[in-house]
Amino acid sequence: MMNLAMIGALGKMPEWEIHCRGAINNGVTQEEIRAIIHVIGIYCGVPQALECFRVAKAVLADH
């Protein structure tokens, strides 16, 4: 989960998608993903959080 926060903060969206899929496959819940993105929004800004939400939404739709 810390890895997701760091990758999201850096804006590495291809890596964010890969690690988001891995996190979900390893039992991280949708609510936990949402909490990670909220932290990204607080520390890195809303535009970055919105980008993470956009990618996470696509990942969750595929899952």
What string of pLDDT tens digits covers the 63 residues of the chain?
999 999 999 999 999 999 999 999 999 999 999 999 999 999 999 999 999 999 999 999 998
For 48, residues 6+ apart whose C-beta sits below 8 A from its C-beta are 8, 9, 11, 40, 41
Structure tokens given for 30: 């949708």
Burial class (CB in 10 A: 0-12, 13-18, 19+), 26: exposed
Query: SS3 for 11?
Result: coil
pLDDT at 63: 85
Q: Can you identify the CATH homologous superfamily of domain 2-62?
A: AhpD-like (1.20.1290.10)
